[in-house]
């Protein structure tokens, strides 16, 4: 197969899937946030963390896609192309997992905080730990790109 095409597939995965994960996360958490905002508007500024962390997933994908794009002219061998594809897959899988975690934990966090604001500091851990998953994937994808 053509190395150029394979690396382009990597870019597609690297930008497309994180964006979908971010969208799903923002949809779940954003709607929950809107619902709570009518009852407890004072909590919104605190709970917006869920939406922002969801949005960050798309930025991670953007970073990897952008790094791959800048390396596109260097990719001539199949090995390099495979690395590009794999790094795309890694960030895709990592952001999907993180997205799933943030959507579930985030919407529960929002509901729970509206009921009992003092539980926020312990409940937020689920969201931030899910978000850390994406960072792990990002780092490994980043290191693989570094080897191209």
Rounded Cα gap, residues 75 and 38, in angstroms: 52
CB of 104 to other proteins, least distance (A): 17
Binding-site member from 27, 34, 59, 78 for other proteins (CB under 8 A): 59
Measure CA 118 to chain center.
Answer: 27
Q: Is position 34 an interface residue for other proteins (rule: CB under 8 A)? A: no
Rounded Cα gap, residues 23 and 18, in angstroms: 8
Binding segment toward other proteins, per CB under 8 A, in 5-13, 20-28, 104-112, 119-127: 119-127
Rounded Cα gap, residues 120 and 47, in angstroms: 9
How many C-beta atoms surround the C-beta of residue 19 within 10 A? 17
Query: Residues in the site for other proteins, rule: CB under 8 A?
Result: 41, 44-46, 49, 52-53, 55-56, 59-60, 62-63, 66-67, 118, 120-121, 124-125, 128-129, 131-132, 135-136, 138-139, 142-143, 146
């Amino acid at each position: 197969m053509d190395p150029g095409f394979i690396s382009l597939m990597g870019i597609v995965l690297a930008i497309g899937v994180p964006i979908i994960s971010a969208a799903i996360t923002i949809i779940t958490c954003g709607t929950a946030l809107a619902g709570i905002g009518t009852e407890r508007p004072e909590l919104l500024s605190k709970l917006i963390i869920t939406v922002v962390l969801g949005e960050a997933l798309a930025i991670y994908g953007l970073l990897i896609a952008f790094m791959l794009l800048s390396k596109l002219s260097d990719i001539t061998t199949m090995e390099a192309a495979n690395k590009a594809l794999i790094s795309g897959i890694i960030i895709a899988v990592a952001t999907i997992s993180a997205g799933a975690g943030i959507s579930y934990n985030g919407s529960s966090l929002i509901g729970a905080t509206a009921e009992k604001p003092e539980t926020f500091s312990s409940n937020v851990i689920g969201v931030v730990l899910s978000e850390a998953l994406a960072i792990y994937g990002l780092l490994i994808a980043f290191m693989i790109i570094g080897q191209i």
